[in-house]
Structure 1
Amino acid sequence: MSGKACLIGFNHVAVEVGSVEEALEFFGSILDFELRGRAPGMAFIDAGDQFLAISEGRTQPPDEHRHIGLVVDDREALRRALAETDAEILPGRGLDFLDPWGNRWQVVEYRDIQFTKAPEVLRGMGLGHLKKTGEALGQLREKGLAE
């Protein structure tokens, strides 16, 4: 033990938008989610044991490099949904997009990365069927996080 706190994970990510109502409409058009709660000028989008906090008040220009890494069960379904919105899908081999307020999102699929949720959390989210690729499992095994 080093005496330092150990980074365990992230409880939530907070992003600024122009309007919470418009943001809920936008995210509701591209993602299946439940609203965890609301506060004045804020809303909380549930992600199992984590959440996305959206708040009114974005004033800065669009992000070029700073981004939020979003994990989904089906990246191509999200790409199709984004095509029906005014979001800007950025060029590249992955899926990066700017939401209507200039927040940059980098989307990865759950099966492809070492990020994992506890089986009971996945079941509670109705996603107990999700599996990891061999490469993702290998990354987890290297860290002693999978058998």
Structure 2
Amino acid sequence: MAFIDLGDQFIALSRGRHQRPDQDRHFGLVVDDRSAVRDLAIKAGAKMLDGDFLDFLDPWGNRIEVVEYDDLQFTKAPDVLRGMGLHLPKSEKALKELHSKGMG
């Protein structure tokens, strides 16, 4: 089993699937720098998947999608960002998505 510490959260990955892998089921991680995660995943021997996103399989077949925070339409509350000491700007695409939902 592998534990990935994410500050105030964690993910536990384990072997022992009882069903075959599929193309849709996955979990996503939001990061500041997707290229750094890609480098780490490659160095760790992850199977990189083709596509427009950074998707890969861990050694047990779990599909992981990595998204950069600035490209995500979701945002953290201003108090949370201040408390974390972060300033995380959004891309134009993400800002348009937020605006279209009345949140920008």
Does residue 143 (structure 1) correspond to residue 101 (structure 2)? The answer is: yes
Aligned to 2:92: 134
Instruction: Give me the identity figure in percent.
Output: 50
Report which of the two structures shows the higher radius of gyration computed on alpha carbons. 1
Query: For residue 44 of structure 2, what is the aligned residue in structure 1?
Result: 85
Question: Deviation at 1:97?
Answer: 0.7
In structure 2, runs of 5+ residues without a counterpart are none
Distance, in Å, in 1 between the alignment partners of 2:40 and 2:80 is 25
Question: Which stretch of structure 1 is more off in the superposition, 57-66 or 97-106?
Answer: 57-66
TM-score for the superposition, normalised by structure 2: 0.81
Counterpart AA for 1:134? E
For 1:145 and 1:84, the matched residues in 2 are separated by: 38
Q: Which of the numbers 27, 46, 53 marks the counterpart of 1:94?
A: 53
Q: Greater CA deviation, 62-71 or 132-141? A: 62-71
Matched positions, count: 103
The reply on whether 1:67 has 2:26 as its aligned counterpart is yes
